[in-house]
Structure 1
Amino acid sequence: MYMVMMSAILSMMIAILLIVVCSVISKKSILDREKSSPFECGFDPKSSSRMPFSIQFFLIAVLFLIFDIEIVIILPMILTLKTSATSTWILTMMLFTFILIAGLFHEWNNGMLEWAN
């Protein structure tokens, strides 16, 4: 028990020491104008480096990621068909599919799938 306590205290002391050292080191670089400005071949940028992008593109990208993750969730369900009860498996698949369709219908009603306004 004593070794566990000493290990925990030592690891917390190392973490706190690293946090303090990193915060002291970073204070110098916050005030540096050149490091905080965008780099464009050594010259001042011709336009703003923070260009706005289309919110529709962002929503479509998020929608793609959501459906991509859902496909990853669906694929192992096919493998579990052999080992689980058929009625439980069908109920789970129907519930999951219903949630997907309900989410898609909600996004469609809110106009998130409209690319052009």
Structure 2
Amino acid sequence: MIIFLSLIMLILLILTIMLSINLLISKKMNKNREKNSPFECGFDPMSNNRLPFSLSFYLISIIFLIFDVEIALILPMTFFTKFYTYYYYINIILIIIILLMGLFIEWKEGALKWIK
């Protein structure tokens, strides 16, 4: 029991010494409003918050998320090579056809054009 308490005291002593050395050595920073604010995608955080957001950027990010989910659905299917049947291939082909139809509709409507 005494060994356990002495070990705890030794750990606390080492932690206290390390913390005090850190506080003595570390640089003191001047508090600045701009340096303490987060940097958000190139937007000035000190300006008006009601700036218009690009709808094209939003649509392309949604399309990216859709195809990202599609990859997350199709990739695990490749690990079940023992169970390949016609039903499996029909499912994968239908998923890809639905996604390609959605992509062509977005392309036809002009949602993929960055500059209109």
| TM-score, length of structure 2 as denominator length | 0.57
Tell me how far 1:80 sits from its aligned partner.
2.5
Q: Which runs of 5+ in 1 are unaligned?
A: 1-39
Identity %: 44
- What corresponds to 2:55 in structure 1? 55
Contact 1:60 1:113 in 2 (8 A): yes
Deviations 1:64-100, CA, capped at 9 Å, x for gaps: 111111110110111133224x211111111111111
Q: Which runs of 5+ in 2 are unaligned?
A: 1-31, 35-44
Tell me how far 1:46 sits from its aligned partner.
5.9
Higher relative contact order, structure no. (Cα contacts within 8 Å, ≥ 6 residues apart) = 2
Greater radius of gyration (CA)? 2
| TM-score, length of structure 1 as denominator length | 0.56
CA RMSD after TM alignment? 2.2
| Paired residue total | 75
Whether 2:103 is the aligned partner of 1:111: answer no
Moved over 3 A (4+): none
Cα distance in 2 between the residues matched to 1:46 and 1:67:
35
